[in-house]
Chain A
Amino acid sequence: RMPAPIRLRELIRTIRTARTQAEEREMIQKECAAIRSSFREEDNTYRCRNVAKLLYMHMLGYPAHFGQLECLKLIASQKFTDKRIGYLGAMLLLDERQDVHLLMTNCIKNDLNHSTQYVQGLALCTLGCMGSAEMCRDLAGEVEKLLKTSNSYLRKKAALCAVHVIRKVPELMEMFLPATKNLLSEKNHGVLHTSVVLITEMCERSPDMLTHFRKLVPQLVRILKNLIMSGYSPEHDVSGISDPFLQVRILRLLRILGKGDDDSSEAMNDILAQVATNTETSKNVGNAILYETVLTIMDIKSESGLRVLAINILGRFLLNNDKNIRYVALTSLLKTVQTDHNAVQRHRSTIVDCLKDLDVRAMELSFALVNGNNIRGMMKELLYFLDSCDPEFKADCASGVFLAAEKFAPSKRWHIDTIMRVLTTAGSYVRDDCVPNLIQLITNSSEMHAYTVQRLYKALLDDISQQPLVQVSSWCMGEYGDLLLSGQCEEEEPIQVSEDEVLDVLEGVLISNLSSPVTRGYALTAIMKLSTRFSSVNRIKRVVSIYGSSIDVELQQRAVEYNALFKKYDHMRAALLERMPVMEKTAANGPTEIVQTNGEAEPSVLDVKHVPSAPQPSVQANDLLDLLSGNDMVPVIPTTVPTKPASAGGELLDLLGDLSLTVSISQPPFLLDGISSQPLFNDAAAGIPPMTAYNKNGLKIDFTFERSNSNPNVAVITIHASNSTEADMTDFVFQAAVPKTFQLQLLSPSSNVVPALNKGTITQVVKVLNPQKQQLRMRIKLTYNHRGSSVQDLAEVNNFPTQSWQ
C-alpha cells in the first residue's frame, strides 16, 4: 500500500528548494506520477489534497488536465472540504470549451439549494465565474431566487452571478429586473455593492434599462450621503472613510445615469459637490473617491461651477507628492483639456512643473495649453523636456515643438532659432516628414535667409550625423549659399567663408558613411544649385560627373541629369536652378506638388518650374498613383474636389501617362441618386452585417452596408471612422480604389476631424456599382494629422461580407 500522499504545503516547500528549472520539473513529474496512481486507486480520503497539489502545479505551468474529472468527483462529494477544492479546481482547470464542465450542471443545481449557505455560496461563485451559456440558461431561475433571499451572504453573490448570466445570455436580463426593486434598501454593504454592479451592468447593456433605473438616482444619492455623513463605522472603515469601495461604485453608476440627462445630472449636483469638498485628501483612499467624483462630474451635464471644482481637484492632485495621484491627474486633464480649456489653463504652471518628472502626459498637456501668450516660457520648458526625456518620446516632442512654433512664434528669428535648437539637439529623432515642412517655413521667412543659412552651416561644421539637420542644412546651403559668401547676415556676426569651404562641407556629406541615401540626394542637388550661385563651376562639374557612376541609382540618375544640364541644356540651367519661390501652403499636408515621394522638397529637373496653379488635382494624382501601385485598380476622384475647368482632367491624364485607366470625372447616371437629400437606403436592408475594414494605431474604420433602392447592383457603404487615442485626428481624408469591373463614388464626408477618445465619428458614403457581381475588393488610403505630424497609410480591404456584392 502506498504511503499517504503529501500535503500541498509540503509540496510547495519542496518545490521551493529546487535550484534549477530541471530540478523543479523532476520533482513535479515525480509527484504527478504519485497523484495519478492515487487517482487510479479511487481513494476518497486523499483526493482533496491531491487535486490541491495539482492546482498548484497547474499554476506553475505544468499540465493538469488529468485532474478535471477528479474535480467533478469532489464537487459531487458530501463533504464541504471536498466541495471547496472541487469547485476551486473547476474554476481554475475547466472552462466552457471542455465538455466535462457540463457534467457539473446538476451538482451546481443541487448545491444552489443546499442547506448550508457556504455550499450555496460555492455554487454561485463557480457558476458566476465560468458557467457556459447553457448552464446559465438552466440555472438562471435558481440564481434569481437567491437574489431575493434575505440571506445577505447569498444575496451579494447571487447579484454578481446574475451579472455573469446576463453577459452570457443577454435575453435573460429581463427576468432579473423585479428582483432589483428592493436591492438598494439593503443595509448589508456587500449586497449594496454587488447590487450597484448588477444595475450598472444592466444599464450598460440596454438603453431601456438605463432609462428605467434613472429613477434610482435619489436613492443612490441618499445612500452616498449617509456614507459620508455617518460617523465612524468599524465595519466598513478604511483609514477613516466609510466604505470607500462602495462610494466609488455608486459614483460610477451615477455617472452612467447622469450622462446626457439633465434631470438626473441636476439631482446629483449637490452630492457631488459635497463629496468633492468634504472628502479627506491626506490618504490614497480619499483621493480614490475624489478621482471617481471628478470623472463623474466631467461626464454628466454638470453646471460650470462644478466642472471648475473638478478641475481644481485635479490641479491639487498635480501638487501631491504621491506620483500615482499625479499620474491620474495628468491622464484626466488630458481628457478634459479640449472641452474645459480655460479651467485647465489656470493650472498650467503646475503642469509645466510635471515636465520635470519627464512624464509624456505632461508633455501632451503642455502642447495643448500653448498659446501666443505663453509660448516663450512654455518652449523653454518643452525644450528641456526634449533634451532629457526618453528617446521613445523625442520624435513626438520634436513634432509638437515644430507645430507649436509654427502656430505661435512671436517672431521669425525666434522661430528659426527654435527650429535650429531642435535640429541640433534632437536632430536624429525628428520625423522625416518634418523636413519638407521646415524647408517651407524657411523659404517663407525671406528676411531671415542669411541668418538661417549661416547658422545651419555652422551646425554642419560641428556634426553631420543627424540626418534631418543635414538635409535641411544642405538644402539651405544650396539655395542661399550666395548669401553665406556675401556676409550679409544682420542678426549676428557674419562669418567669413569661401566657396571651397562650403563645397567641402557638402562634399563631406556626400562621402560620409553617416549620410543616408536621401541625405546624399539633398547634398548633390545642393551642390548643383550652387553652380549658378558660385563661380567654382568646374569643381561642381567634376563632383557631378563622378556621381554619374554611383552605385546608388537615385544619385546616379541625378548626376546624369545634372551632367546633361551642363552639357546639352546649359542655356536652361540658370532658370531651372533659380531661387525657389515662396511656397503656398494650399493643402493641409504641407507643400503640395513640390513634395515628391522621396521626401525631397524640390521638383525634379524635368518638371519645368511650376507656379502652384492646380494643386488639388495633382495631389490627388500623386496619391492615386500610390493607390495604383497594385494591379488593375481604378482610381476615383472624390466628388468633393473643387470643380476645376476641363483642363484639370487633361493634366491628370498627362500625369497618368501610359496607364490605360478610366478616370471618371463626370458623374455616371446611376450615381446621381446621391444628389437628393431623401434617404436612399432601404432601411430594412438585406441585413448585411457591418465589418471593420481597418483598425490600426487607434484609428478604426467600420463599414456598414445598405442596398440602393433604385439599383440592386449598387451597394451603399457608409464608412465610420473613429479614434480611440487621446489626440484628435485632423485633416482626415479617406480615399478608395476598386478593381476595373467596378465603379465607385465617394460623397462628402461629415467632417474632417476624428475626435479623440471615440467622442464622435466621421461618416462618409461610398457607393459601389458592381454589375458583374464580382467579389468586392478595395484598396483604401488614409491621410490625417495626428499629434503634430502627418500620417498616411494604405490598406487592402478584402473581408467584405458576401451579401454586399452578391
Chain B
Amino acid sequence: MIKFLLMVNKQGQIRLSKYYEHIDLAKRASLEVDVIKGCLSRKKEECSFVEYKDYKLVYRQYASLFVMVGVSENENELAVYELVHNFVEVLDKYFSRVIMFNLEKVHVILDEMILNGHIVETNKSRILAPLLVLDKMAES
C-alpha cells in the first residue's frame, strides 16, 4: 500500500503532503526531511527507487516539482511509477498548469484516486467528476 505522498519543489519546500498511515507529527517532520533530502540529492544516473527504513520511495520529477511516494516493501515500484504519472496527468488535465495554489482541490483529486493507501480510480474523467460538481456548486 501507499504510505504517504509528497509534492516538493526544487528547494525542498512542501507543496502537498498526504499520509495514509498515522505518523506522529514530530516523526513526520523528520521523515519529510529525510525523504526530501534523499530524493533531491539523487544524481541523474541513479534510478527512481530508493530504500528508506521499511519503505520504498518512488520519486519522479516534473519540471520544478518532485512527486515522492513512500510505499510498503511488497509494492511493485514500476506500477507506482506509472501511478505517479497518471496523477500528474490528471492534475495537468484540470489545472492545465500545475502550480498548486488550489491545494484543497488537489486533495479532492487525490482522494478520488487513492483511498486508504490503495488505488480507487485511474480513469481521469471519473476522477475529476466530483470536482467539477463542486466547481459548479461554488459558482452558483
Q: Are B107 and A88 in contact (CB under 8 A)?
A: yes
In the assembly, what is the distance between CA of A9 and CA of B100, in Å? 9
Contact with A along B99-116 (1 / 0, CB 8 A): 011111001100100011
List CB contacts (< 8 Å) of B114-134 with chain A.
115-116, 118-123, 126, 130, 133-134
In the assembly, what is the distance between CA of A81 and CA of B140, in Å? 12
Least CB separation from B48: chain A residue: A324
| A449 close to B (CB within 8 Å) | no
Segment at the interface with B among A174-182, A190-198, A208-216, A471-479: A190-198
Cβ contact of A118, chosen from B20, B79, B133, cutoff 8 A: B133
Q: Are B103 and A56 in contact (CB under 8 A)?
A: yes
In the assembly, what is the distance between CA of A287 and CA of B78, in Å? 7
Q: Are B82 and A190 in contact (CB under 8 A)?
A: no
Contact with A along B6-48 (1 / 0, CB 8 A): 0000000010110010100000010000000000000001111
| A585 close to B (CB within 8 Å) | no
Q: Are A245 and B104 in contact (CB under 8 A)?
A: no
| B86 close to A (CB within 8 Å) | yes
Q: Are A292 and B138 in contact (CB under 8 A)?
A: no
In the assembly, what is the distance between CA of A285 and CA of B107, in Å? 25
B113 to chain A, nearest CB (A): 10
B93 to chain A, nearest CB (A): 14
**B121 contacts which chain A residues (CB < 8 A)?**
156, 190, 193
**A295 contacts which chain B residues (CB < 8 A)?**
76
Knowing A59-B14, A156-B120, A190-B121 touch, does A80 contact B134 (C-beta < 8 A)? yes
Cβ contact of B47, chosen from A13, A164, A244, A323, cutoff 8 A: A323
Knowing A9-B101, A9-B102 touch, does A248 contact B107 (C-beta < 8 A)? no
In the assembly, what is the distance between CA of A128 and CA of B114, in Å? 11
Q: Are A323 and B104 in contact (CB under 8 A)?
A: no
Segment at the interface with B among A325-333, A639-647, A737-745: A325-333
Q: Are B78 and A328 in contact (CB under 8 A)?
A: yes
| B94 close to A (CB within 8 Å) | no
Q: Are B123 and A118 in contact (CB under 8 A)?
A: no
Q: Are A244 and B79 in contact (CB under 8 A)?
A: yes
Q: Are B104 and A8 in contact (CB under 8 A)?
A: yes
Q: Are A236 and B123 in contact (CB under 8 A)?
A: yes
A255 to chain B, nearest CB (A): 10
Q: Are B138 and A323 in contact (CB under 8 A)?
A: no
Knowing A95-B22, A325-B78 touch, does A238 contact B120 (C-beta < 8 A)? no
Knowing A190-B123, A288-B78 touch, does A129 contact B116 (C-beta < 8 A)? yes
| B65 close to A (CB within 8 Å) | no
Chain A at the B interface: SS class = helix
Highest count of chain A CB atoms <10 Å: which of B78, B86, B130: B78
Q: Are B82 and A323 in contact (CB under 8 A)?
A: no
Number of cross-chain contacts by CB at 8 Å: 134
Q: Are A12 and B120 in contact (CB under 8 A)?
A: no
Knowing A160-B116, A194-B118 touch, does A291 contact B111 (C-beta < 8 A)? no
**A248 contacts which chain B residues (CB < 8 A)?**
76, 79
B116 to chain A, nearest CB (A): 5
**B83 contacts which chain A residues (CB < 8 A)?**
245
**A190 contacts which chain B residues (CB < 8 A)?**
120-123, 126
Knowing A60-B14, A88-B104, A129-B115 touch, does A160 contact B81 (C-beta < 8 A)? no
| A243 close to B (CB within 8 Å) | yes
**A121 contacts which chain B residues (CB < 8 A)?**
130
Highest count of chain A CB atoms <10 Å: which of B86, B107, B120: B120
**B77 contacts which chain A residues (CB < 8 A)?**
324, 327-328
Q: Are A324 and B79 in contact (CB under 8 A)?
A: no
In the assembly, what is the distance between CA of A59 and CA of B107, in Å? 12
Q: Are B118 and A160 in contact (CB under 8 A)?
A: yes
| B63 close to A (CB within 8 Å) | no
| A84 close to B (CB within 8 Å) | yes
**B123 contacts which chain A residues (CB < 8 A)?**
189-190, 235-236
| A506 close to B (CB within 8 Å) | no
**B79 contacts which chain A residues (CB < 8 A)?**
244-245, 248, 288, 291-292
Q: Are B78 and A324 in contact (CB under 8 A)?
A: yes
| A163 close to B (CB within 8 Å) | yes
In the assembly, what is the distance between CA of A324 and CA of B108, in Å? 30
Q: Are A160 and B115 in contact (CB under 8 A)?
A: yes
**B20 contacts which chain A residues (CB < 8 A)?**
129
**B101 contacts which chain A residues (CB < 8 A)?**
8-9, 12-13
Least CB separation from B18: chain A residue: A92
Binding site for B on A (CB under 8 A): 8-9, 12-13, 52, 55-56, 59-61, 80-81, 84-85, 88, 95-96, 118, 121, 124-125, 128-130, 153, 156-157, 160-161, 163-164, 189-190, 193-194, 197, 235-236, 238, 243-245, 248-249, 252, 284-285, 287-288, 291-292, 295, 323-328, 357
Closest 8 CB pairs of A and B: A288-B78, A9-B101, A323-B47, A327-B47, A288-B79, A160-B115, A190-B121, A128-B116
7 contacts between A and B (CB under 8 A): A129-B115, A156-B121, A160-B116, A163-B116, A194-B118, A287-B78, A291-B79
